Amino acid sequence: MRNKPEKKRQEDFGTEFEEKVLYINRCAKVVKGGRKFSFSALILVGDGQGHVGYGFAKANEVSDAIRKGSESARKNIYTIEMEGTTIPHEVYVEWDGAKILLKPAAEGVGVIAGSKVRSVLELGGVKDVVAKNLGSSNPLNQVKAIFKALLQLKNREKNLAARKGAHA
């Protein structure tokens, strides 16, 4: 049985969250009287200390889509496993067409990544990492792939302790 990653709410953390609008998409539906527009918004929230979440929402007005996406993001916050200012190990993930490769980097290297991946990592508080998007340019799939990758990260000490406990 696989243990699911914990989704937490903003209230669970004592820190202030920063909000970022990653992508807004306008969709047009052609009706009898002309075109009817609707909007979707992809929103990120993070505190820069290992907690980050995303929300995706649709509405008839841009402001409503952003508000709904923001509420959704604050309900789905995940904790990133970090080792100092970087990630503990290399990880490669595929989500739909998006393929993401994350590699730990030495201190001072910075975040080397494309725009959507960079935003997620910076809001999450990862300071040194090398990332490569090898597939899709779809922002939502990129974000879902990066979250899948971040949730696969494991702490070395905890992992070793668990292994030793299993063999004892």
Give 116-166 pLDDT, tens digit per residue.
Answer: 999 999 999 999 999 999 988 999 999 999 999 999 998 878 777 888 877
> What is the pLDDT at residue 100?
95
Which of 96, 98, 97 is CA-nearest to residue 132?
A: 98
Burial-class residue 121 by CB neighbours within 10 Å (0-12, 13-18, 19+): buried
- Please give the C-alpha separations between residue 37 and each of 21, 34, 63, 65, 168, in angstroms, as whole numbers: 19, 10, 13, 12, 62
State the pLDDT confidence band at 1, using cuts at 50, 70 and 90: very low
> What is the pLDDT at residue 10?
62
Asked if pLDDT for residue 4 goes beyond 90, the answer is: no
> What is the pLDDT at residue 167?
72
> What is the pLDDT at residue 35?
94
pTM for the full predicted model: 0.86
18: which strand partners?
46
> What is the pLDDT at residue 5?
65
Q: Which residue has the higher pLDDT, 10 or 78?
A: 78
Q: What value does the mean pLDDT of the chain take?
A: 89
> What is the pLDDT at residue 160?
79
Domain architecture of the chain: domains with CATH: 10-78 (3.30.160.20), 80-167 (3.30.230.10)
pLDDT one-digit tens code per residue, 53-70:
999 999 999 999 999 999
Which two tokens mark 35?
A: 């075109």
